[in-house]
């Protein structure tokens, strides 16, 4: 007999859109100016106000990291310290500059970069460190900046998960060296695709503004006015990484809704913590959800016999789950037989399971997920 399908599917993640976003897109379509123009300028202004310092928008989060590295002078022969437990985008952005991503270990309690481990991997070629704000938390960010200052390293924060998170009362992106965000369909806010770089470094900002438009110098100002540069100069490698007005129109409306959506994410994460706390095999990440706006909710399950079977069992109950992430140091492109071991990453990865989290999830959904997860682990 074929097993019956569950009546409801609780999705792992989803885009959470309202009528306002759809109407904003229709406004762009009606105006028939779909490329980079006034909506992008308005979105950048709104983001700059949100962070309290300048933001430059690009086509996605990976492009943001790539351009930030390039603008900081990272290139061929350089090395960048980065946790192995991150999406491959972090590593690809580094290697796209010609630099080498150097896989580092993590802190077990948060899954964030362990700067003490990174210190053992320093060489004369190390030029930057890239903390990845896993699940929205920042880990020992003060320690990372102190480490970077001691060794003269740039800090490029991969903050794709951490839009809205605060550290010591300040928004991530509102302080520090360079922070990069993602606005893809399932992030804390979305612009369909998209991303941004936030920094006070005027030279980095200038380089990114040109590089996102194929290196065409000062083309940004023309685009904002609905014009193009027909006679121009190019002095550095550029990319087609600019944001479109369609993306920006979505992002502007999402930013208006962010307070409510972030509150929902934090409330649901607290509910998970409450229901899962004390279970003998389920361990939650150490997060302060008064400060952290979580992008994903990850648990570690000890003595995990077969994660695939557990996922299938939960799916049979209508609950999608995920795995964040397969470590990059095991991928063929980034495998380095000479590298130091990563014992924490390799111990933690087999235990990871990501549970549903998005702004359309309900507390009743969370209750159901926790009940079913516990039932499968008895």
The full set of domain ranges for the chain reads 19-253, 258-376
What pLDDT, on a 0 to 100 scale, did the predictor assign at position 163?
A: 98
pLDDT of 242 > 60? The answer is: yes
Top-level CATH class of 258-376?
alpha beta
Mean pLDDT of the chain: 97
**Tokens matching residue 99:** 């630099």
User: How many angstroms separate the CA atoms of 239 and 232, rounded?
Assistant: 16
Known catalytic membership, residue 222:
no
- Choose among 294, 296, 290: nearest CA to 352: 296
**pLDDT per residue as tens digits for the range 111-153:** 999 999 999 999 999 999 999 999 999 999 999 999 999 999 9
Q: List the Cα angle 178/183/187 in 5-degree steps.
A: 110
Q: What is the pLDDT of residue 257?
A: 98
Catalytic: which of 187, 207, 218, 222? 187
Q: How far is 57 from 44, CA to CA, in rounded Å?
A: 6
Q: Which of 91, 295, 108 is nearest to 190 (CA)?
A: 295
Query: What confidence category does residue 1 fall into, taking pLDDT thresholds of 50, 70 and 90?
Result: very low
Looking at the domain that runs over 19-253, which CATH code has it been given?
A: 3.40.640.10
Q: Count each helix (H run) and each strand (E run) in the chain, helices first.
A: 12, 12
Taking the CA atoms of 359, 361, 364 and 365 in sequence, report the sign of the dihedral they define.
negative
* pTM of the predicted model as reported, rounded to 2 decimal places: 0.96
Q: What is the DSSP code string of 153-183?
A: -EEEEE-TT-TT-EETTEETTSSSSEEEEE-
């Amino acid at each position: 007999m074929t097993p019956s399908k569950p009546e409801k599917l609780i999705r792992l993640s989803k885009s959470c859109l309202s009528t306002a976003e759809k109407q904003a897109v229709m406004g762009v379509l009606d105006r028939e100016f779909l490329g980079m123009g006034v909506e992008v300028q308005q979105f950048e202004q709104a983001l700059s106000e949100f962070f309290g310092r300048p933001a430059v928008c690009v086509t996605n989060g990976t492009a943001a990291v790539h351009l930030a590295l390039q603008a900081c002078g990272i290139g061929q022969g350089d090395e960048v310290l980065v946790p192995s437990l991150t999406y491959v985008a972090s590593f690809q952005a580094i290697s796209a500059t010609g630099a080498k991503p150097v896989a580092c270990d993590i802190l077990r309690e948060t899954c964030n970069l362990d700067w003490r481990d990174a210190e053992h991997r320093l060489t004369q070629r190390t030029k930057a460190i890239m903390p990845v704000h896993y699940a929205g938390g920042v880990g020992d960010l003060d320690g990372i900046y102190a480490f970077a200052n001691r060794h003269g390293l740039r800090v490029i924060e991969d903050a794709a998960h951490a839009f809205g998170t605060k550290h010591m009362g300040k928004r991530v992106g509102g302080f520090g060296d360079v922070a990069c965000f993602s606005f893809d369909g399932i992030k804390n806010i979305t612009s369909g695709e998209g991303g941004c770089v936030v920094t006070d470094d005027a030279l980095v900002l200038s380089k990114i503004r040109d590089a996102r438009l194929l290196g065409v110098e000062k083309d940004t100002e023309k685009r904002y006015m609905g014009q193009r540069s027909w006679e121009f100069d190019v002095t550095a490698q550029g990319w087609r990484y600019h944001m479109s007005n369609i993306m920006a129109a979505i992002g502007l409306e999402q930013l208006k809704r962010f307070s409510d959506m972030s509150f929902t994410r934090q409330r649901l994460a607290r509910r998970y913590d409450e229901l899962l706390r004390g279970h003998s095999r389920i361990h939650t990440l150490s997060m302060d959800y008064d400060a952290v706006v979580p992008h994903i909710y990850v648990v570690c399950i000890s003595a995990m016999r077969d994660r695939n079977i557990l996922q299938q069992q939960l799916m049979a109950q209508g609950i999608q789950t995920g795995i964040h992430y397969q470590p990059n140091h095991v991928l063929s492109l980034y495998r380095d037989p000479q590298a130091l071991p990563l014992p924490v990453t390799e111990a933690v990865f087999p235990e990871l399971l990501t549970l549903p989290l998005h702004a359309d999830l309900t507390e009743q959904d969370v209750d159901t997920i926790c009940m079913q997860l516990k039932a499968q682990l008895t």
